[in-house]
Structure 1
């Protein structure tokens, strides 16, 4: 068994330890006709650890009946004598007349009933339209603490149990759960006499579906669903067990034709995980259910993955590269959890990153790199995850990867870029440092040592230490337990380099108590040999404040080769100039990942006033002959960020846009607007990147081309003039530079989108209008016509339109109470706060934001708010210290062109 959680068992936020659940018999009946409801009963088998007259479970938003309990010691049933609820901590306490002796077995049975709402948490309903009629189906979303709102339970990840689930539903619907069906049939009083005591009104309109018993698992992984689902099926032959695992993907009839690609991805990656982990996939099937309404992206319920349409559906004839990559990433990520999280589960939510960071690394880099190498996932990780992590972690308001989570509010806030992207980044760094084979062997040892149990951080480090012979705890402890990350400053000496580490902040170097951490930093120093070939020293580690290393500084060199380390590198100006000259060479010794890392580092260092912004732009200018899409994607991201910061300085913005156009328009001219099946993913994505960047920079020729294509679509209804990869750009150009007709046409696509990609593109585009009447219509749509899961797209779109950037803050503040009620049980408020305020950039913005939240209860999103306030402060400082340098650089550049 694993170590215990750092959270003490008697914490006021945790359940008592006097009893421990062993098995649940759960019966749930679903009524999908309005008003949609569910009811049922649960019997929990318990080990009594200490003598007690009370049993405390988690429960929320449920109507509970009187509890009945049986004890092996007393061999008699007794009714609860008292029931008390703790609404804040979502607990119910049942008291009984006679005590349950320590060491005995007990069972408690509780009837329950609840509403099926559109909350996207607990057991909830999702809607779809068939023949102009709204219909419903139901599904669960229990992570992190919402199983308790579907049935009374011991809703903590460490309290693993087995589950036997029975579903009662109308006979023309389909029931799904974690395990396969063992029996199913129309209700019969003779065959189902046990159900009559739970549901007195059952008749032949109902059917009863019984599922096989699960392995021991945590409550947050329990899943079930009911509705008019259809499915596609496949199978996977497993390399260790030799078993053939049936695979299905379910959704409604109108969407099932878009599900084949996700099913194919699952069939491809599932056997790979069994091979890599050297642990057999433990369940007899693996389904996926695609939902119209879903709060997160997807969820790794054991044996029944669930997720939103944009995560799993695409039209193979009209799918852009981004949509395909998203399906690959999400499906692979969730399959990784079948082992990492589901077989071995974190002991408490402090260790969420053990689940999410590892699934991100495995699903989105290691396995994807084998299954879909054409997407270059290890390289893309730098922009998709590493830079995201470093941007968030460069704030004073950041938090460690491993962070105490005493209550539900704190748990909900750590599903963020640190638990996912930074955790994956430090694991990727460790993998490269020790070698991927040894790393994965260590992971396998860890899984085998804790099968079906719970674990903490040091359990994983112990497995990798055993595989590598390295003290991984010493090496990794500060990376997961301390806030922030370092910048390594390089100073050239007579014989080599001196390197120093300090905590990096987006506003500069940390000082005092904020700069006490010393990390073990794998420097991965790249140099060149006598033949000019790159050589990497992977043994060099900076584990003190400063160190010196001998090397020949007359030749090219670079730290953090491959950009696998979770840190920035600051060079002297003279060395940066030499690096810029080296990256400009067609035969540069710096690989794609190095060129990406150099670009992201340079812009981040300039924001922190550790490097001139003009020096960072010089580096970008030196990359004009670059041909790799991922390098240009990083450049595009950084230049868009600059434009978003200086959005109110017209002189600088005009110059910056001209600079952007000069970089990207040659690719538009070279690659054109037509996509071919013979194009590599790199070529397709580079074309899209260049066109989108020129559109953002107001390149008139690109605007005219994109508007012309949409005009042709409006005239003929033929969408073949809108390539899938340019859907977002064309819709955006049409609305931003068009009027009522274009807006209405995009609104019509939003109403009846052929694919999730088109729907998201339409939502983002509708936010780009400059016409106040149309803007007001879009704001109204947020309140009355947007699915809850989609509201973040509207906020995101409004926050990048210069006309609405501050209007969205006023809208949020005006409707704050309504939004709080609407999203009281989801992650959405944090996303809305970050999306609304993170892009603001003046002292007035900062003061007004602080004033608005001064009297608000921010407990559910205080981390996101603090990070947004830090973002505003950093932008204010950036504008102050770099405007003059930026303006001068761009003016000189323009005169030279």
Structure 2
């Protein structure tokens, strides 16, 4: 396949230029819409008389009943004009009006134009014009298919293959607060309510902004024009001519999901690096307070790093990043106009913690990595999302390390991604990284693949691949891949092909091809536990399952065996890479395997070697040993008391990663036992272990000073703990004070800390009141509803209240928020993670049955995982509670 195709500017604007009467037309559309709104009391946009809605019928084999577009038409250019209203109409509704022209080429003759359109009201019958020598067919009828989100335009005659046509539409939609498509975000500044019109198109919401061929492989050039108030500024993916009517330059060839356009009165700061304009936009108050300065400082070095890493210049003339008060995701990689939650972009040096700072630099690096990997070269379909997000989740640490070289941030991938995803991928209800295209069709199925597997497992296996290929070979293959497919679409095996070419060029020796090795990590769920017996030298691998009695939901053509690259040491000396290609292998004198946790597998040893390994091992592997031991114990492979013994050395440990690994794993014990007598003994033990660490830092520095180390505890980092402790010890007066501070806070990270702390209350009525607040966007923003409920569920007092609340309000939650703007998988996992009794299991099963008619959206898999996890918890407690109690009473 070639390097992509280009459309000349002449062809791109044929028949699309909007004349001087455009503004009048848009005003007329608004009038039409207001008249139609007065005719009905429903919130949904109704079709005009020229467009009919399809009746509800049984599914058929007709193309409009399929979830994928037919390959008969190929879009080339769009010209879209939109006018968002930042003031409500007399009915209190916010709207936007628009017109759109799309030039497309007919690939195969057809008498049907199928184009995505969701929640848009056509205010004028669409028109079709031929751009070739033959006239366009007459439109016979237009039908809206709301289930599959299509506008089906039936033609009297067929379109001619090879010819180009222009489809023109005029429409109106609601500028809703649903966090998807073209939506509104609200905030107060100096007592004045302000509104931002902004976008979030990924994965399937560009169709809510204008009719379009809304699939990632349907790339095109976009011409965007926005009408807006003179006091506001309009932004989009590319540069613009700034007037009340802002017309943007043509984009590069790109996918619909990467489009962005925003109207606001935000302020910005900027700098230019090698003629590249870099700007940070945010609320004027935040810009004035200097909260965008850290993002501006790190963006340039990260961009330059990725230019070197990819060996491809940044493909756009500017890089805008904007912090939005309401944003469902953490950030979105829109090409040239990246959108963020405020907490992911804005930093206050007095209030924000090191954790806030770390998140900002890694999220910025993640989104900038996508400007090439994902935007310049785009995956053909969402079943391969893991490669896009997994890659960015891996190299975000490389980019962050470039901006903050003293932080050792690369090691944190082990805690943040590898260990995190192990917990999910050890379930029999996990899923492979890559699915078949036909398995990922509906919007809710697409939303469901944006999960921990895609991000964190994707990052983990790509890191492993880079390690065993060597970074030099990995980047060579990556560079030729990007160069070959720029402005085009790929499948994941295209990357394997280019990596193999790099391997061959460098005469690297692999036991199998890149594809043969990696298919086993990509096409089957789960991961192995490698067991090493140092007394015999025998090595074996088995599929690691949290509950060994369960069976994977999916068969595997590879029988759950992997080609495992094992890095290892002997006598404190690193040895050549060992490949375990079958169930069994052998070597001699093993000491430590999986150096620096570069491999995506767990390691078990004989008892003698476990004892040897607790002394004199690298920091990152001390964290690995703890995490491996605790999870092997959860699966019944080793005794739980052996895992607990890995925490004995913590009384002399001063490094961050082992402590974090220990606390993450002990958190499971808190969840299982904080309603039993085990809890008190466990608290005493942890208190004794942490005392020396506290004394160490007390001797090292005054608590009011800020140490140099990135992961040392400092004043700003204690805010969350202090706030939570104060709320837990207090009552209504303290809670109300925190609520007042929350409402008045102007720094996003401070608001987040206060919002989380209010979930620490111990009075049930306060927590119940707080839960009700999550249903009121005036009190808790929709973007924060999920995490607030989860925070309450993390409180032992609040957990049953949160569970009851979710069950009682599921229909409202599901219908109000929808699958795109409410993270159902996180919510379901969050409110059920403490479940460990038969009664709770039955409640969970009943919840699933009672709400089957409503649905669970992107949380469907999470329901199955929660049931499996609860079953495993029940078995584990029955087996281990007495031994754990005895051990905490007398640790040894």
TM-score range, shorter chain: 0.7 to 0.9
Residue 724 (structure 2) aligns with = 732
How far did residue 306 of structure 1 move? 0.1
- Kept after mapping to 1: 8 A contact 2:362/2:399: no
How far did residue 877 of structure 1 move? 1.7
Of 636, 644, 659, which residue of structure 2 is paired with 1:617?
A: 644
Alpha-carbon distance in structure 2 between the residues aligned to 1:463 and 1:14: 29
Moved more, 37-46 or 332-341: 37-46
Residue 344 (structure 1) aligns with = 377
How far did residue 367 of structure 1 move? 2.1
How far did residue 19 of structure 1 move? 1.1
Of 307, 318, 321, which residue of structure 1 is paired with 2:351?
A: 318
Residue 96 (structure 1) aligns with = 155
Residue 795 (structure 1) aligns with = 789
Residue 147 (structure 1) aligns with = 206
Of 833, 840, 854, which residue of structure 2 is paired with 1:838?
A: 833
How far did residue 860 of structure 1 move? 3.5
Residue 870 (structure 2) aligns with = 872
* Secondary structure at 2:662 match in 1: helix
How far did residue 111 of structure 1 move? 0.9
Distance 1:524 1:9, change over 3 A: farther
Alpha-carbon distance in structure 1 between the residues aligned to 2:143 and 2:737: 56
How far did residue 676 of structure 1 move? 5.8
- Kept after mapping to 2: 8 A contact 1:31/1:38: yes
1:811 aligns with 2:800: no
Q: Deviations over 1:797-839 (max 9, x none)?
A: 2111111111100011111111112211424222222211233
Residue 524 (structure 2) aligns with = 482
Alpha-carbon distance in structure 2 between the residues aligned to 1:108 and 1:169: 25
Equivalences for residues 276-355 of structure 1 within 5 A: 276-355=309-388
Alpha-carbon distance in structure 2 between the residues aligned to 1:360 and 1:860: 21
Residue 573 (structure 2) aligns with = 534
Residue 51 (structure 2) aligns with = none
Moved more, 737-746 or 223-232: 737-746
Q: Deviations over 1:62-102 (max 9, x none)?
A: 00231111113455566633111111111111123343211
Of 735, 745, 749, which residue of structure 1 is paired with 2:741?
A: 749
* Secondary structure at 2:242 match in 1: strand
- Kept after mapping to 2: 8 A contact 1:563/1:594: yes
1:761 aligns with 2:753: yes
1:431 aligns with 2:459: no
* Secondary structure at 1:565 match in 2: coil
How far did residue 686 of structure 1 move? 4.1
Residue 533 (structure 2) aligns with = 491
- Kept after mapping to 2: 8 A contact 1:764/1:796: no
How far did residue 505 of structure 1 move? 0.8
- Kept after mapping to 1: 8 A contact 2:78/2:223: yes
* Secondary structure at 2:775 match in 1: helix
Residue 715 (structure 1) aligns with = none
Distance 1:153 1:674, change over 3 A: farther
Of 252, 263, 271, which residue of structure 2 is paired with 1:215?
A: 252
Equivalences for residues 81-120 of structure 1 within 5 A: 81-120=140-179
Of 173, 185, 189, which residue of structure 2 is paired with 1:130?
A: 189
Alpha-carbon distance in structure 2 between the residues aligned to 1:860 and 1:667: 42
Alpha-carbon distance in structure 1 between the residues aligned to 2:824 and 2:664: 25
- Kept after mapping to 2: 8 A contact 1:536/1:561: no
Residue 707 (structure 1) aligns with = none
Distance 1:519 1:2, change over 3 A: farther
Alpha-carbon distance in structure 2 between the residues aligned to 1:776 and 1:121: 29
Alpha-carbon distance in structure 1 between the residues aligned to 2:580 and 2:406: 34
Alpha-carbon distance in structure 2 between the residues aligned to 1:466 and 1:676: 55
Equivalences for residues 557-572 of structure 1 within 5 A: 557-572=591-606
* Secondary structure at 1:139 match in 2: strand
How far did residue 596 of structure 1 move? 1.1
Distance 1:3 1:407, change over 3 A: farther
Of 658, 661, 686, which residue of structure 1 is paired with 2:684?
A: 658
Alpha-carbon distance in structure 2 between the residues aligned to 1:874 and 1:369: 38
Equivalences for residues 23-62 of structure 1 within 5 A: 23-34=77-88, 35-62=93-120
Alpha-carbon distance in structure 1 between the residues aligned to 2:374 and 2:364: 15
Alpha-carbon distance in structure 2 between the residues aligned to 1:45 and 1:170: 29
Alpha-carbon distance in structure 1 between the residues aligned to 2:847 and 2:393: 36
- Kept after mapping to 1: 8 A contact 2:824/2:857: no
* Secondary structure at 2:67 match in 1: coil
Aligned residues: 807
- Kept after mapping to 2: 8 A contact 1:379/1:592: no
* Secondary structure at 1:885 match in 2: helix
Alpha-carbon distance in structure 2 between the residues aligned to 1:827 and 1:743: 26
Alpha-carbon distance in structure 1 between the residues aligned to 2:720 and 2:138: 61
1:522 aligns with 2:565: yes
Alpha-carbon distance in structure 2 between the residues aligned to 1:511 and 1:541: 27
* Secondary structure at 1:448 match in 2: helix
How far did residue 741 of structure 1 move? 2.3
Alpha-carbon distance in structure 2 between the residues aligned to 1:593 and 1:273: 26
Alpha-carbon distance in structure 2 between the residues aligned to 1:501 and 1:71: 62
1:889 aligns with 2:857: no
Residue 451 (structure 1) aligns with = 486
Alpha-carbon distance in structure 1 between the residues aligned to 2:325 and 2:702: 32
Alpha-carbon distance in structure 1 between the residues aligned to 2:493 and 2:804: 47
Of 463, 467, 486, which residue of structure 1 is paired with 2:498?
A: 463
- Kept after mapping to 2: 8 A contact 1:236/1:271: no
Q: TM-score, normalised by structure 1?
A: 0.87
Alpha-carbon distance in structure 1 between the residues aligned to 2:705 and 2:218: 51
Residue 254 (structure 1) aligns with = 285
Q: Deviations over 1:612-664 (max 9, x none)?
A: 11101111103432221111111111112211121221x21111111111111
Q: Deviations over 1:459-482 (max 9, x none)?
A: 111111111235210110110111
* Secondary structure at 2:529 match in 1: strand
Alpha-carbon distance in structure 2 between the residues aligned to 1:483 and 1:772: 41
- Kept after mapping to 2: 8 A contact 1:137/1:225: yes
* Secondary structure at 1:517 match in 2: coil
Q: Which runs of 5+ in 1 are unaligned?
A: 186-206, 238-243, 583-587, 689-722
Alpha-carbon distance in structure 2 between the residues aligned to 1:865 and 1:236: 48
Question: Could you say what the CA RMSD is over the residues aligned between the two structures, in angstroms?
Answer: 2.1
* Secondary structure at 1:39 match in 2: strand
* Secondary structure at 1:258 match in 2: coil
- Kept after mapping to 2: 8 A contact 1:3/1:459: no
Distance 1:674 1:129, change over 3 A: farther
* Secondary structure at 2:646 match in 1: helix
Alpha-carbon distance in structure 1 between the residues aligned to 2:369 and 2:644: 40
1:234 aligns with 2:271: yes
* Secondary structure at 1:323 match in 2: helix
Residue 589 (structure 2) aligns with = 552
Q: TM-score, normalised by structure 2?
A: 0.88
Distance 1:674 1:26, change over 3 A: farther
* Secondary structure at 2:464 match in 1: helix
Residue 681 (structure 1) aligns with = 709
Q: Which runs of 5+ in 2 are unaligned?
A: 5-60, 505-509
Q: Deviations over 1:510-557 (max 9, x none)?
A: 6696792211101112112xxxx422322x1111111111x235xxx1
- Kept after mapping to 2: 8 A contact 1:770/1:803: yes
Alpha-carbon distance in structure 2 between the residues aligned to 1:362 and 1:548: 34
Distance 1:817 1:2, change over 3 A: farther
How far did residue 359 of structure 1 move? 0.5
- Kept after mapping to 1: 8 A contact 2:74/2:105: yes
- Kept after mapping to 2: 8 A contact 1:521/1:543: yes
Residue 849 (structure 2) aligns with = 854
- Kept after mapping to 1: 8 A contact 2:79/2:224: yes
Residue 41 (structure 2) aligns with = none
Q: Deviations over 1:196-245 (max 9, x none)?
A: xxxxxxxxxxx2111010110000001100011111101223xxxxxx21
